[in-house]
Amino acid sequence: MLIGRKKEQQRLWDAYESEYSEFVAVYGRRRVGKTFLIRETFDYKFTFQHSGLANSTRNKQLKAWCDSLAEYGMDIKRTPTNWMDAFSMLKELINKSAEKKKIVFIDELPWMDTHASGLIPALEHFWNSWASARKDVCLIICGSATSWIINKIVKNKGGLHNRVDYKIPLRPFTLSECEQYMKSRKVSMSRKQLVEGYMIMGGVPFYWKAMQKGLSLAQNIDQNFFNPGGELYEEFDALYASLFKRPEGYIKVVKLLSGKRSGLTRNELIKSGKFVDNGNFGQLLIDLESCGFIRCYNIIGNEKKDAVYQLIDPFTIFYYEFMSGNSRKDPQFWSHSLNKPVYNTWCGLSFERVCMLHVEQIKQALGISGIISGVYSWRSVNSKPGVQIDMLIDRDDDVVSICEMKYTSNPWEMQASDLEDILRKEEVFKRESRTSKTTHKVLVSANGVKRNEYSDDIQKIVTLDDLFK
């Protein structure tokens, strides 16, 4: 059963129903459901389907390609010696097909690009000189190595420049889609549990698939993340290795960011990590951002050079907070951590990240979905002690929404000190940013708010249910 993905599925159908040949690129992080989306959309029926081999040689890749051709009815009399030859054999298979539109699905294309493979020139030649000259080919390429797809295909500066007709980035599920998915699998979870699950797993469908009915969320987390042999016990290393050919630099950056709630500037990252300040480091940051692990935001009033990079991937944050430091290797570590101070602190910080990933739902709750706006975090430069605001929505209707996120077990009860803190943040922001816009104080509370004389200063309260819309 396919959950969500309506827009992406429609894009695939548009490509299929076009009167011309179309080149489609589907990309997104490991385990996000790219292959499943494509197979479900076309009911597992393809003129040709092939998946690259992980960590393999060119000869083995070509042999696997040959085997896939045979599976789709080709009488194999030879094994191709290079990719030009391999794509020529694919042409032969397509020419024999009686299907009105020939769907060619090449999965994990980046894995096929081994050292000096010649894959890209062969793909260029196949598409530019042959497939695009017809009207009946729908070529779909896919891969978890998002940076490779973007840099080598989507932003190709050679023969594939501007050749991709449909670019389909596949994002993780929203909270609402996770809820639908768990219901479809008969796994019972309250919305509070779903949010806590999202704090750990984000919206990655494969992670949620590991949740078993009959177990509590804590039991599921213990079983999959902390039990040797668990489905996701070694996921961190596999995740970064699948996305990046040389993952060490990427891991170094996210590790540095994991210890900085508000993020670091490029210069701060270079200094802390002793990186070389060059184009390669800039590309590394772009790759991490394109994969959805970090976000880059400008502080209102500052220039682009002061942009801040912040870790936003829930699983990576969870890994560095709990898994990498679980030296005791306690298989029930998560159950034993519940309601302890470190857990409660993590819940508060992680809820902020969940809100960051549901900005559209927050804007909808504020009634500003149709208003052009920018979303930022902000930290003071001149004030002592410093001020940090985790979410600002700078709106074109002459308003800046200052958002506070609170995760508590019971309805949050604002105290005089809380109101004083919020008012100080507002005052420092207005002074340092020199904004002339009206500021609205917004509270996003996981369990609502207990009304009192202090809460009346809040213009709008966004609830947990609002995040599920």
pLDDT at residue 78 in the model:
87
pLDDT at residue 328 in the model:
59
**Is 359 within the bounds of a domain?**
no
Tell me: do 332 and 388 sit in the same domain.
no
Tell me: do 228 and 244 sit in the same domain.
yes
Q: Give 250-294 pLDDT, tens digit per residue.
A: 999 999 999 988 889 999 999 999 999 999 999 999 999 988 999
**Is 358 within the bounds of a domain?**
no
Residue-number span of the structural domain to which 233 is assigned = 173-338
Rounded CA-CA distance 27/168 in Å is 7
pLDDT at residue 304 in the model:
52
Tell me: do 270 and 330 sit in the same domain.
yes
**Is 345 within the bounds of a domain?**
no
Tell me: do 118 and 181 sit in the same domain.
no
Tell me: do 213 and 141 sit in the same domain.
no
Rounded CA-CA distance 68/438 in Å is 62
Whether the pLDDT of residue 299 is over 90: the answer is: no
- The length of the chain in residues reads 469
CATH code for position 208: 1.10.10.10
**Stretch 368-390: mean pLDDT:** 88
**Stretch 94-103: mean pLDDT:** 96
Tell me: do 313 and 447 sit in the same domain.
no
Share the mean pLDDT of the chain. 93
Domain final position from 122, 139, 169: 169
Q: Give 39-50 pLDDT, tens digit per residue.
A: 999 999 999 999
Tell me: do 24 and 97 sit in the same domain.
yes
More confident residue, 448 or 141: 141
**Is 101 within the bounds of a domain?**
yes
Whether the pLDDT of residue 379 is over 60: the answer is: yes
**Is 351 within the bounds of a domain?**
no
**Stretch 303-312: mean pLDDT:** 79
Which of 66-80, 218-232, 371-385 is the least confident region?
Answer: 371-385
pLDDT at residue 469 in the model:
94
pLDDT at residue 356 in the model:
93
pLDDT band of residue 307 (cuts 50, 70, 90) is confident
**Stretch 132-139: mean pLDDT:** 97
Which of 44-48, 92-96, 142-146, 304-308 is the least confident region?
Answer: 304-308
CATH code for position 388: 3.40.1350
Alpha helices in 210-358 (DSSP H): 217-221, 235-243, 248-258, 266-273, 279-290, 314-318, 333-337, 341-356
What is the tally of structural domains in the chain?
3
Long-range interactions of 450-455: CB distance < 8 A, separation 24+ = 450/410, 450/411, 450/412, 450/413, 450/414, 452/413, 452/414, 454/414, 454/415, 454/416, 454/418, 454/419, 455/414
pLDDT at residue 28 in the model:
92
More confident residue, 1 or 142: 142
Tell me: do 163 and 183 sit in the same domain.
no
Whether the pLDDT of residue 390 is over 90: the answer is: no
CATH code for position 127: 3.40.50.300
Rounded CA-CA distance 411/443 in Å is 12
pLDDT at residue 301 in the model:
59
Whether the pLDDT of residue 303 is over 60: the answer is: no
Domain final position from 280, 304, 338: 338
Alpha helices in 292-340 (DSSP H): 314-318, 333-337
Share of the chain above pLDDT 70, in %: 98
* DSSP secondary structure of 38-81: HHHHTTT--SEEEEPPTT--HHHHHHHHHHHHHHTT----S--S
**Tokens found for residue 296:** 């880059």
**Is 242 within the bounds of a domain?**
yes
Rounded CA-CA distance 34/26 in Å is 7
**Is 227 within the bounds of a domain?**
yes
Tell me: do 187 and 140 sit in the same domain.
no
Tell me: do 263 and 375 sit in the same domain.
no
Whether the pLDDT of residue 94 is over 90: the answer is: yes
Whether the pLDDT of residue 302 is over 70: the answer is: no
pLDDT at residue 316 in the model:
97
Dihedrals φ, ψ of 395, to 5°?
-105, 150
**Stretch 342-353: mean pLDDT:** 93
Judged by DSSP in three states, 282 sits in helix
Alpha helices in 139-174 (DSSP H): 146-148
pLDDT at residue 1 in the model:
82
Domain final position from 117, 142, 169: 169
**Is 246 within the bounds of a domain?**
yes
pLDDT band of residue 115 (cuts 50, 70, 90) is very high
More confident residue, 221 or 147: 221
Whether the pLDDT of residue 341 is over 60: the answer is: yes
**Tokens found for residue 154:** 């989507």
Tell me: do 201 and 63 sit in the same domain.
no
**Which is it for the CA torsion 186, 189, 190, 192, positive or negative?**
negative
Which of 32-36, 198-202, 321-325 is the least confident region?
Answer: 321-325
Which of 69-83, 195-209, 244-258, 378-392 is the least confident region?
Answer: 378-392
Tell me: do 227 and 203 sit in the same domain.
yes
pLDDT band of residue 216 (cuts 50, 70, 90) is very high
How many CB atoms neighbour CB 262 within 10 A? 16
Specify whether the CB–CB gap between 120 and 160 falls below 8 A: yes
